[in-house]
Amino acid sequence: MKEIADKFIALAANKKKNEEARSFFLKEIEGEYNPLLWKCYISHMTEKRDRFKKKERIALLGSSNITPVKNMLRSVFDANKISTDYFVGEYGNYLQELMLDGSKLYSFNPTMTIILLSLPDIMPSVYEYPFSHNKKSVDDLLAKLSRDLRTALGKYSSALAKNTTYVAIVPSYEEPCNYVYSPGSSFKSDNYLMKLQDAVESLEKEKNNIVMMNGRRCVSKHPARRIEDKRYWYLGRIRYTDLFFSEVAKELMGLYRIINTPSKKCLILDLDNTLWGGVIGQDGFENIELGQDGIGRAYQDFQREALKLHKKGIILAICSKNNESDAMEFFKTHTEMILKPEHFAAKRINWSDKASNIKDIAREINIGLDSVVFFDDDPAERKWVRDSLPQVTVPEPPQDQFLYAEFLKNSEWFKSYKLSEEDLSRNITYEAIARTKGLKSSSSNEGAFLKSLAQSLTIERVDASTVSRAVQLCQKTNQFNLTTRRYQLADIKDVMSYKLNHVYTIRAKDCFCDYGIVGVLILKGQASDRSLTIDTFLLSCRIIGRKIENVLLDWVKSKAKAEGYARLYGVYSKTEKNAVCANIYKDSGFTVVYRRGRDIKYECSLDKRLGLYPFGKFVKVELKKSRDGKKT
């Protein structure tokens, strides 16, 4: 153990090697617990006060003495280049600290609050005098504790909006009734733990700055005697060993990273020796390792992990050096494949270099290279991609291919704290897009393609149930957004207050799926010169390139003409990202009125015959009356 500490100190002593010292420490603490190494980190690294840009003010509240966790947290945060300041609350006093506005805790003004609770501390009477209790008294006590905890946490999290509170209830090895093997559910530590965790979790759903930490993960890797130590309890009211506190620090750091770093969005996979064992071009299909038993099972498990990620909303893609027809044939004919072609939003199966292919894939599915993870068994390919595209994450997989699935499962890149509805539905859309792309190449002409898609659009006047989605689209749509006006809720309401103005949402559907609301259209009428202006026109990038935009503009033209307007105006304001819609007005028969800076104003006269998009008839457009019954 001292040898490791010595090695660390040598790195820490050399300022040029501090970066190396940090990663050495982070790697070592994943292995066998080494108390000396932790102490060395504090005395050789954090004392240098390399102040980092990123800072956290951390308050520690425990039901017993949790001071040892302070230096350990300081070390792991420092190793991740985050400076930290601490407030350690008086132990056992956490409820009062949380409830009293004027407490030292509030004046410390933390950005992170960590609350570590132990069952024997918070319900001492049950643990000390279990035979004076019965089911009802235990239930009453748990109900009161839950209430108190919820009240205190609720108040605290509302008062300190910038603070995130991490709550952990530590599973107890100690049982209230040790002398009875089966004392009934009222006397089991695990039941208390579950009830109290439920109370915090229900609050966590309401407040976004409360995080429930999994206390079990801090104790489950070690036997009881290495977690609880009565000697320190009697000498210093410290219930747990340093080993336990080091686990807490690591767990918290992991959770902190999950919460504070955006998860990767896309996993690009190689095929040969990654999804299956062997090379299909050389070994022949019958010799490929993939199946229920033996070695093949390891590859199947890896595919299962990738499929789980797909279902969680991670986009999958293929980048492989192969003949595309061979690879696709294998996908189609091999019965043991878990992943199917439709699980991949993009495929680059060819002989060009992988870096260009990856760049292409990212462009195709509209994501940044920094949200891509590329998984390949071949070290040369990994190096090539790493060197040419440093933004892409290229993991170093384990030597042993049997461990690929475990490696993926335990990796950090795709973890998120909660699962959102959007995550779950994302890939349904991407699958549909992938299928429409298949159609596009198989349909020989545009009209046939559009006909086979069977798209239908529903235009609806915005109402209370859809306005928040409209605002969200205004805020986030970058690519197909002609004017990029970032309207807030109040702005939309303002626009709607004038009777010649209309705010519409657009829903899209095709033969594959219902995309939900994918666009916003804001029209402003002017009675004086009988003109209608397209103030905002935006569409989600998921459905660009299927002529919906042309059909919608035609709908606006026809509607304006029918309502007696003489001309239609539209503006294209150029931004860094909206080149995709630069020509939409020109293509739709508008003429330029003027160019001013980034803006081009277009006009379309409605007096003459309207030039409509020829294949528009293949897209169904329906204007739905709003729910409140007003005419739109």
Partner 1 sequence: MEKKLKFLIANCCQIEPSDVGDDAGVNATPNWDSFGHLQIMVCVEQEFGVVLDTKTIAQLTSYKDIIRYLKATRKKNGK
3-state secondary structure 460-495: EECCCCCHHHHHHHHHHCCCEECCCCCCCHHHHHHH
Dihedral sign computed on CA atoms, order 332, 335, 340, 346: negative
Q: Over the Cα atoms of the chain, what is R_g?
A: 30
Separation CA 539–CA 521 (nearest Å): 9
Residue 197 identity: Q
Round to whole Å and give the CA distance between 592 and 600. 7
151 and 97 Cβ atoms separated by less than 8 Å: no
Smallest separation, CB 46 to partner 1 (Å): 9
The least CB distance from residue 307 to partner 1, in Å, is 44
Beta bridge partners of 537: 521
Give the strand pairing for 514-526 and 501-509. antiparallel
CB of 235 to partner 1, least distance (A): 6
Q: Cα separation of 494 and 489, whole Å?
A: 9
Gap between the Cα atoms of 327 and 125, Å rounded: 67
Shortest spacing between CB 232 and partner 1, in angstroms = 6
Between 41 and 330, name the residue whose CB sits nearer to partner 1: 41
Q: Report the nearest approach of partner 1 to the CB of residue 105 (Å).
A: 20
Query: Both tokens of residue 40?
Result: 């060395």
Task: Give the nearer residue to partner 1 in terms of CB position, either 44 or 354.
Answer: 44
| DSSP 8-state class, residue 158 | H
Nearest approach, Cβ of 73 to partner 1 (angstroms)? 15
- Can you say whether the dihedral through the CA atoms of 546, 552, 553, 558 is positive or negative? positive
Q: Distance of CA 204 to CAs 195, 196, 290, Å?
A: 14, 12, 43
Degrees to nearest 5, angle at CA 339 with 449 and 359: 65
In terms of Cβ atoms closer than 10 Å to its own Cβ (0-12, 13-18, 19+), residue 396 is exposed
Supply the minimum distance, in Å, between the C-beta of residue 39 and partner 1. Answer: 4
Quick one: 236 or 390, whose CB is closer to partner 1?
236
Which is closer to partner 1, CB of 78 or CB of 535?
78
Give 241 or 505: the residue with its C-beta nearer to partner 1. 241
Spatial contact of 534 and 527, defined as CB atoms under 8 Å apart: no
Buried b (16+ CB within 10 A) or exposed e, 423-433: eeebbebbbbb
CB 228 within 8 A of CB 118: no
Judge contact between 449 and 347, C-beta under 8 A.
no
Question: In the complex with partner 1, which residue's Cβ is closer, 118 or 371?
Answer: 118
Distance CA 468, CA 473 (A): 9
**At 551, which helix (H) or strand (E)?**
helix 548-562
Residue in the block written with tokens 């198989």:
442
CB 632 within 8 A of CB 467: no
In whole angstroms, how close is the CB of 67 to partner 1 at the nearest point? 6
In the complex, what is the shortest distance from the CB of residue 7 to partner 1, in angstroms, rounded to a whole number? Answer: 14
Beta carbon nearer to partner 1, 39 or 601: 39
Q: Which is nearer to partner 1, 89 or 277 (CB)?
A: 89
**Nearer of residues 244 and 299 to partner 1, judged by Cβ:** 244
d(CA 587, CA 598): 19
DSSP 8-state class, residue 264: P
Report which residue type is found at 133.
Answer: H
Q: Cα(264)–Cα(412) distance, rounded to whole angstroms?
A: 9
| CB-facing half-sphere around the CA of 121: CA atoms within 13 A | 22
Closer by beta carbon to partner 1, 33 or else 585 = 33
CB of 169 to partner 1, least distance (A): 24
State the nearest-atom distance from the C-beta of 230 to partner 1, in Å.
8
Residue 422: CB minimum distance to partner 1, A = 47
Shortest distance (Å) from residue 5 CB to partner 1: 7
Kindly state the smallest distance separating residue 470's Cβ from partner 1, in Å.
57
Contact present, 153 and 167 (Cβ < 8 Å): yes
Quote the least distance from Cβ 70 to partner 1, whole Å.
10
Decide whether 24 or 256 has the Cβ nearer to partner 1. Answer: 24
Alpha-carbon gap, residue 286 to 280, rounded angstroms: 9
Which of 34, 191 has the CB closer to partner 1?
Answer: 34
Task: Return the percent helix, strand and coil in the chain, to nearest 5.
Answer: 50, 20, 35
Binding residues vs partner 1 (CB under 8 A)? 1-2, 5, 34-36, 39-40, 42-44, 47, 67-68, 230-232, 234-236, 238, 241-242
Whole-number Å distance between alpha carbons of 453 and 345: 18
Choice between 38 and 590, CB closer to partner 1: 38
Nearer to partner 1, 34 or 103 (CB): 34
Identify which of residues 1 and 161 has a Cβ nearer to partner 1 in the complex. 1
Q: Which amino acid is at 422?
A: E
